[in-house]
Amino acid sequence: MFMQNKSIKYSEAINKALFYSMKKDKNLICYGLGITDPKNIFSTTTGLEKEFGKERVFDVPTSENALTGISIGAALNGTRSVVCHQRLDFFLLAMDQLVNSAAKWYYMFGSQVSVPITIRLIIGRGWGQGPTHSQNLQAWFNHIPGLKVVMPSSPEDAYNLLIASIFDPNPVIFLEHRWLHESIGSFRKKLKKLDEYGCKKIRSGKDITIISMSYLTVEAIKAAEYLKTFFNIEAEIIDIRVIKPLDLKTILNSVSKTKRIILLDTGAEDGSIANDIIAKVYKEVFESLKIAPVNLSMPNIPEPTSYQLTKNFYVNAVIIIKEVLKIFKINKKINLKSPSIHDVPGDWFKGPF
C-alpha cells in the first residue's frame, strides 16, 4: 500500500487500483490485449498475473467483439471484469456488444440483472498515429443510455475513479489519455460511489471558467498560471472527470460567478461534449453571461499523420491564453511558446503504445 499525499505516476495509480480491486473482489477478472506483454499497457498491469494467477489475469487474441461479449456473459453470471482493449480505435469492433447488450440489458430485462463491466480504452495523440489510432470518441459513448463514461486527468482520480468504476453496477467506459500515464501528482485515497464524484474544481477564480477534460486539464493549468501572473486574470478550472453522468451543477455555479466560459474538448467540435455543455449553460444561465461561450475542440476532420500537418492541430496552453485574452479584449503579445516538439509529451515517450 502507499501513504496519503504521496506523489505517484498516473500509470502506478491505475496499477494500484487494479491490485486493490482484485484483492477486494476475489472473483474479479482482468483480461484483454497486452495485459501480460512486456510493456504491460504503460506498466498499468505490471505484477497482476504473478499476484493473482493466469485464471484471473490473462491476455487474449485480437477479438474485440468476442472478448467484450465474454465480459457481458461473465457479468450476467455474477463475475465483474476489467477489460482492456488498449486503443479506443480497435474497440469500435465491439460496439454492437456495448450498445445493444451491455448498456441495455438492465433496462430490457426488468432491472433484474446489471452488467458490471469496466472497459479501459487508451485515447490521445502523438508520434504520427494519424486518423485511425488517435480518436477521442467520448461524445459517442456519452450518447448511449445505460453507459457511464469516465476520463480522469490526475493520478489521484485515476485511482479513485477506477475503483469506483469497477464496483459500479453499470458498464463503464474508462478513458486514459496516453500522455498522462507518466504524469506525476499528489495522491489522496477517497473511495466513494461513482455517482458521488462530480466535476472537480482544480483552481478557483472569479474572472472566467475553463471547463476541461483529460489531458487538456494539464494545458488549462499552464494557461491559468500564465494568465494570473502576467494579466491578473483569475481563471477557475473545472475538470470534467466523469463525463456521464455529468455534474452540471458545479459547472453552472462556476459560470454564474465568472459570467464567462471557455470549453476544452479533446474530441471533434461537431457533436462534442463541449457543445452539449454550451447548450445546457445557455438554457440555465444565459441571462448571466457577459460573452458567448468559446469552444476549443478539435477540428472536424480526421487527425493527420504528418508531423507538419499536426503542428497546429491541437489545443494547448498558448491557444487557450490567446482565446482568453480575446474575451477580455486584451491585445498584447505573450512570451509563452508552444512546445518545439508538439507530438510527444516528453523525452520518455518512445512510441504509441
Q: What residue spans define the domains of the chain?
A: 8-196, 200-327
Q: Which of 12, 85, 133, 181 is catalytic?
A: 133
pLDDT digits (tens, 9 = 90+) for 75-114: 999 999 999 998 999 999 999 999 999 999 999 999 999 9
Are 86 and 31 in contact, with CB atoms under 8 Å apart?
Answer: no
CA distance 164 to 194: 5
Class of domain 200-327: alpha beta
> Is there a catalytic annotation at residue 64?
yes
- Which pLDDT value is given to residue 3? 45
> Is there a catalytic annotation at residue 133?
yes
Q: Which of 49, 64, 219, 303 is catalytic?
A: 64
- Mean pLDDT over all residues of the chain? 93
Give the mean model confidence (pLDDT) for residues 303-309.
90
Q: Which CATH architecture has domain 8-196?
A: 3-Layer(aba) Sandwich (3.40)
Q: Kindly report the number of other CB atoms within 10 A of residue 146's CB atom.
A: 17
Give the mean model confidence (pLDDT) for residues 125-137.
89
Distances (CA, A) of 43 to 34, 116, 134, 145: 10, 24, 20, 32
Beta-strand pair 294-298/242-244: unpaired
Bond prior to 245 in cis (omega within 30° of 0) = yes
pLDDT category, 352, cuts 50, 70, 90?
Answer: low
CA distance 306 to 309: 5
pLDDT over threshold 90, residue 288? no
pTM (2 d.p.)? 0.95
